[in-house]
Amino acid sequence: MDFELVQDVIPVEARPSIVSYMERASVLVAGGGYWTDPYTGSDLPYAEMTDGTYIWSAPWAFLVGRYGVQLPADFLAHMQALEFEPPEISDEELDQIGDAEGL
């Protein structure tokens, strides 16, 4: 899923629920290096996360929390529909998602 680096789109008061959802989702692929914060140049640990419907890079949760970067409207609506509680995904489902995504 592609996100845009547009700051201050997500209001400060909405960020904690979104960040929590994104951080508590299932880890699809962990490790493998770092991702560079485009604003500060700091390295952030890299992982691919999923809720079974969407896949995102873990550093996006940091970028939402720190900078309020824009996320796709359908992803935000999806999180809200789940009341910001990511579903539990079995190891078998994670394997299937990873295989389908070539990870």
**pLDDT band, residue 17 (cuts 50/70/90):** very high
φ and ψ at residue 50, rounded to 5 degrees: -150, 155
pLDDT at 51 over 90: yes
Q: What is the pLDDT of residues 72-91, one digit of tens each?
A: 999 999 999 999 999 999 99
48-72 as b/e: b if 16+ CB within 10 A: bbbbbebbbbbbbbbbbbebbbbbe
Residue 68's pLDDT band, with cuts at 50, 70 and 90, is very high
User: Rounded mean pLDDT of 20-33?
Assistant: 89
